[in-house]
């Protein structure tokens, strides 16, 4: 098993051991820094990887950035790159320290960490020995998200040698380190030093302070760890997204692996950082959000799926109910927002053998949220052996259309006056609910393919596509009541 070593949160090595540079980097997982430093570190690390692998463009970019004093990550990592990447051979220790100090003064937390340590421990002949100033430098780094700087301060304030013992400050910095995600074993070791120091002084251990946003940071790291596991398990697919539903208190991950297949995973974090994960592996999932269908104050998780095959396509909305305290969500209502399929089998099924073009059937559905939505039994139409389940049922506006030749095709002239065709259209509507919808179709045939509800709904005006207008809601309410 190989290990790649990159600068980040690093271990100080004495210049007297190696006789080359005062700093070296060892491979540890660095905690996220505050903006804009984190993006600078991420981009700088990737650029250094390319440079060390021989990418000449990356090598030139690094040298130019260091010389110009703008690439703070590389200015902090010159010693490493001199040893391992063949860069900066002409730089002596004084030149390296000068660039490091410039990056620290500019506010880059990684450089402040190194510079502050040397100011405190006094091991460098080129960096002034100033413990108080070094503590200020480490404090700045810690408050920019560099948790290891906070841990180092906590340790030294507990130890009481390089810095004067101050257990209140030690507890404060340890709380920052823990909030920033410093290794749990390192945090536990430092906490032990604080407790030991308190015992030596015969005083109680000061209470750890509350760190603003500490809980949010811990949860964000825990969630990202779960997301990483889900990406490893399911793959990235395309259109992959992650997010958080605030009202439901649920994180989600979804993607599509092919037109008709995809993944959805939702999870809640427990107090110990563990996650309750529920996943579905069916349709291509292309969106997740939340709503409150019946206005009872309990949000529903809503996710959108799509899929299709040769000559077919369907887009659907699915609901999950996950009350607090339940181990996993329960599936609720599912409805189709739009679907189409070519269905020439209608000709033979309804006894019309003189078909002039292929038949396309489409279905659109609109759900009306609000007080009319009630809990009830929902029996999915597919798969055929699907069990009925409890779900919130809402009024639906469903429009089913039949087209000869396609949605954009005009009505064929050769069908005008064909009585057998007109009977076929009526039979199809009575048997399936699909009504003729070609532009230019005779009004008499279209009117014969309308239920009373559809006739009422067609009278509503001023609606935008995909929107249920107030006029339509009123008409639906009148019809249902």
**Block mean pLDDT (10 aa), the chain, length 481:** 30 28 37 83 93 95 96 95 93 94 95 95 91 96 93 97 96 92 92 96 92 77 86 78 93 79 88 82 85 93 88 91 91 92 93 86 92 91 83 92 93 89 91 91 69 43 43 46 42
Is 323 part of any domain? no
Structure tokens at 78: 């010159």
Instruction: Decide if 429 contacts 458 (C-beta within 8 A).
Output: no
- The answer to whether position 314 is within a domain reads no
CA–CA gap between residue 351 and residue 321 (Å, rounded): 45
Domain boundary among 146, 166, 201: 201
Tell whether 38 and 187 lie within a shared domain. Answer: yes
Domain contains 6: no
Is 22 a member of any domain?
yes
Do 69 and 186 belong together in one domain? yes
Structure confidence at residue 260 (pLDDT) = 59
Q: Which domain, by its residues, includes 347?
A: 343-481
Task: Answer whether 411's CB lies under 8 Å from 444's CB.
Answer: no
Q: What is the CATH number of the domain that holds 175?
A: 1.25.40.10
Q: Are 198 and 205 in contact (CB under 8 A)?
A: yes
Tell me, yes or no, whether 165 and 40 share the same domain.
yes
Please report, for residues 4, 29, 86, 436, the alpha-carbon distance to residue 66 in angstroms, rounded to integers and kept in the order given: 23, 24, 15, 71
Final residue of a structural domain among 259, 288, 308: 308
Residue 334 lies in a domain: no
- Same domain? For 170 and 236 the reply is no
In the chain, the number of structural domains is 3
Residues 56-70: tens digit of each pLDDT: 999 999 999 999 999
pLDDT value of residue 474 = 52
**CA angle at residue 383 from 378 to 387, to 5 degrees?**
40
- Examine the fold and report which residue of 308, 325, 360 is the final residue of a domain before the chain moves on: 308
**294 and 356 housed in the same domain:** no
Residue 163 lies in a domain: yes
Considering the domain architecture, whether residues 117 and 240 belong to the same structural domain is answered as: no
Whole-number Å distance between alpha carbons of 451 and 433: 9
Tell me, yes or no, whether 222 and 298 share the same domain.
Answer: yes
Are 197 and 261 found together in one domain? no
* Any domain includes 324: no
Please check whether residues 404 and 469 belong to one and the same domain.
yes
Q: What is the pLDDT of residue 443?
A: 80
Q: Are residues 261 and 351 in the same domain?
A: no
Amino acid 14: pLDDT:
28
pTM of the model: 0.63
Tokens of 128: 């002034």
Kindly report each contact of residues 130-138 with a partner whose C-beta sits within 8 Å and lies 24 or more positions away, as own/partner: 131/162, 131/163, 135/163, 137/104, 137/112, 138/112, 138/113
Q: Are both 232 and 191 inside the same structural domain?
A: no
Q: What's the pLDDT at 470?
A: 55
pLDDT in tens, 401-442: 999 999 999 999 999 888 899 899 999 999 999 999 999 888
Residue 44 in any domain: the answer is yes
Q: Are residues 243 and 185 in the same domain?
A: no
């Amino acid at each position: 098993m190989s290990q790649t070593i990159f600068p980040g949160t690093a271990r100080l090595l004495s210049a007297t051991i190696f006789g080359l540079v005062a700093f070296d980097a060892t491979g540890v997982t660095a905690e996220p820094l505050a903006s804009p430093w984190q993006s600078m570190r991420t981009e700088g690390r990737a650029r250094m990887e390319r440079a060390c692998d021989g990418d000449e463009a990356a090598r030139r970019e690094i040298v130019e950035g260091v010389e110009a004093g703008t690439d703070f990550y590389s200015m902090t990592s010159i010693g490493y790159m001199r040893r391992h990447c063949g860069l900066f051979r002409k730089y002596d220790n004084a030149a390296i320290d000068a660039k490091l100090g410039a990056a620290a003064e500019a506010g880059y937390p990684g450089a402040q960490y190194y510079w502050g340590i040397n100011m405190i421990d006094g091991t460098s002949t080129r960096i002034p020995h100033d413990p108080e100033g070094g503590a200020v430098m480490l404090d700045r780094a810690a408050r920019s998200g560099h948790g290891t700087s906070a841990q180092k301060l906590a340790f030294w304030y507990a130890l009481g040698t390089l810095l004067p013992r101050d257990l209140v400050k030690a507890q404060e910095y340890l709380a920052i380190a823990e909030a920033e995600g410093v290794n749990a074993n390192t945090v536990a070791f430092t906490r032990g030093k604080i407790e030991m120091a308190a015992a030596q002084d015969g005083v109680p251990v000061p209470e750890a302070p509350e760190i603003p946003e500490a809980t949010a940071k811990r949860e964000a790291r825990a969630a990202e760890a779960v997301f990483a596991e889900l990406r490893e398990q399911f793959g990235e697919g395309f259109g992959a997204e992650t997010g958080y539903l605030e009202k439901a208190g649920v994180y989600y991950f979804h993607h599509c692996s092919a037109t008709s297949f995809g993944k959805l995973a939702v999870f809640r974090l427990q107090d110990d950082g563990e996650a309750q994960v529920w996943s579905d592996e069916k349709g291509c999932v292309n969106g997740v959000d939340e709503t409150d269908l019946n206005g009872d104050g309990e949000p529903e998780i809503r996710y959108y799926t799509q899929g299709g095959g040769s000559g077919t396509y369907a887009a659907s909305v699915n609901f999950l109910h996950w009350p607090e305290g339940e181990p996993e969500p329960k599936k609720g209502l599912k409805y189709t927002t739009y679907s189409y399929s070519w269905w020439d089998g209608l000709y033979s099924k309804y006894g019309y053998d003189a078909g002039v073009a292929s038949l396309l059937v489409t279905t659109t559905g609109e759900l009306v949220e609000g007080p009319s939505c009630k809990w009830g039994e929902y029996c999915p139409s597919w798969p055929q052996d699907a069990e009925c389940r409890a779900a919130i049922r809402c009024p639906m506006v469903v429009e089913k259309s039949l087209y000869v030749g396609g949605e954009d095709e005009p009505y064929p002239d050769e069908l005008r006056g064909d009585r057998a065709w007109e009977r076929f259209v009526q039979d199809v509507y009575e048997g399936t609910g699909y009504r003729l919808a070609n532009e230019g179709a005779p009004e008499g045939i279209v009117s014969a393919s309308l239920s009373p509800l559809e006739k009422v709904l067609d009278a509503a005006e001023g609606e935008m596509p995909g929107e249920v207008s107030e006029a339509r809601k009123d008409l639906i309410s009148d019809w249902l009541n």
